Each structure stands twice: as C-alpha cells, then as structure tokens.
Amino acid sequence: MNVMSDADAELVVENRPGITWCPNNALHRAVHPQDLCRFPWLIDRGVCVSLGIDTTMYHPFGTAGMVSLLLSASVGHRLDDAEPFYMQTANAARNIGYADELGTLAVGKRADIVVRAAEDITHTALDQAGALLALSSSQIPVNLVMIDGRVVMQGGRLTAADQTEVLHSALRQRRRILERAGAPAE
C-alpha cells in the first residue's frame, strides 16, 4: 500500500489493522504525492506499519528502510532513524501474526539474527547515528547469522556447510536451469 484518502486513513487509525508500506515501489512508480503519503502520520497515531518489497526485480531486499526515510522526509514528516528497523522486525512479525515467535530478541522466541559488520571500513559512516543501519543495511557485509539460536555463519563464512561447495552447487543448478530454458551457455 502506498497512498490513501483522508477517510481511509481515519478508518485505519480507528480499526488498527496491520499495514505494509512498500516505499520502493512508490518511489519507482512516482505514486507518492505529498498529500496522500499517510504512513508517518499513521505511525504517529500508533498504527503498526511494516515495510515490504513488492517486487525484487527493481528493488533489492534491504533498501526499504532507506527509501522510507527519504520518502517521509520528502513529505515533511521524516521518520525517526530507528523506525525502519522496527518496521522490518517487530512490526513485520506483528502484522503477519507471529509476534509471539519473531521480531524481537526475547526468551522463548526464535533466535533468528543477522549481525552486520558495521565496523567494516567500506561501510562506516562518519556519524554512527542509527540511520547507518537503515540507510545501508543491505550493503554492509554479514558477520554472523543465527537460525533458531544456532550459528550458521560466523566471520562471514558458513559454519554449517562447506561454503565453497554450496557456491559450486548453486552454479551447477543455475547452469541446468539456463540449459532447460534454452538460454545461451555462459
């Protein structure tokens, strides 16, 4: 969802459904007129807004946070730097009905965690404000990944599988798919 009328916005505030905002598509399609961008306003009124990507063909994962900050600023109601983080974690879990299992770090919840190497010299901002995560999260190298509390990547390398074999297997599979599709050989 990207735009809504005043009447629709009031209904959302009154009924409190979970709303997913796809800011990348709004930017790409230029469908975000200033007077119809209600998401910062909805967030201020306690509506649970999560972020989504409705097509990865144009918008890579991890960019919605940055775009939400840019679009909200463009309508004169910039989100707080940390808001995209919550929109992609706790709010997303709440909106899909899994807040008891996902979205925050708490005893009894799944420990699915991705830790970025924020101190990587190629991605360290001059100002280490909260926007670093929102603005470049998809570009910062991954340092650690835990799934259900089990470390599956550490120091940027897989721990539960041979990373080189996984890559070679993926490349073989890609070749098979391209051959079946009649695509030219690489």
Which segments of the chain does DSSP mark as H helices, in order? 6-15, 23-29, 39-44, 64-74, 83-88, 90-95, 131-136, 163-180
Q: Are the C-beta atoms of 150 and 144 separated by less than 8 Å? A: no
Residue 101 pLDDT class (50, 70, 90 cuts): very high
Instruction: Output the pLDDT for position 98.
Output: 95
| Alpha-carbon span 118 to 140, nearest angstrom | 6
Reported as a single tens digit per residue, the pLDDT across 6-52 is: 899 999 999 999 999 988 888 877 776 666 788 899 999 999 999 98
- Its sign, for the CA torsion 112, 117, 123, 124, is positive
Residue 117 pLDDT class (50, 70, 90 cuts): confident
What one-character DSSP code corresponds to residue 96?
T
- Domain range summary for the chain, segments of one domain joined by +: 6-155
119: helix, coil or strand?
coil
Q: Indicate the pTM of the whole model.
A: 0.74
Instruction: Output the pLDDT for position 112.
Output: 85
Other CB atoms within a 10 A radius of the CB of residue 177 amount to 10
Reported as a single tens digit per residue, the pLDDT across 131-143 is: 555 555 566 778 8
DSSP one-letter string for 34-64: GGG--HHHHHHTT--EEE--S-TTTS-TT-H
61 φ/ψ angles, rounded to the nearest 5 degrees: -55, 145
93 φ/ψ angles, rounded to the nearest 5 degrees: -60, -45
Q: Are the C-beta atoms of 25 and 19 separated by less than 8 Å? A: no
Q: Are the C-beta atoms of 118 and 124 separated by less than 8 Å? A: yes
| Alpha-carbon span 36 to 75, nearest angstrom | 9
| Alpha-carbon span 90 to 69, nearest angstrom | 18
Instruction: Name the residue with higher pLDDT: 85 or 30.
Output: 85
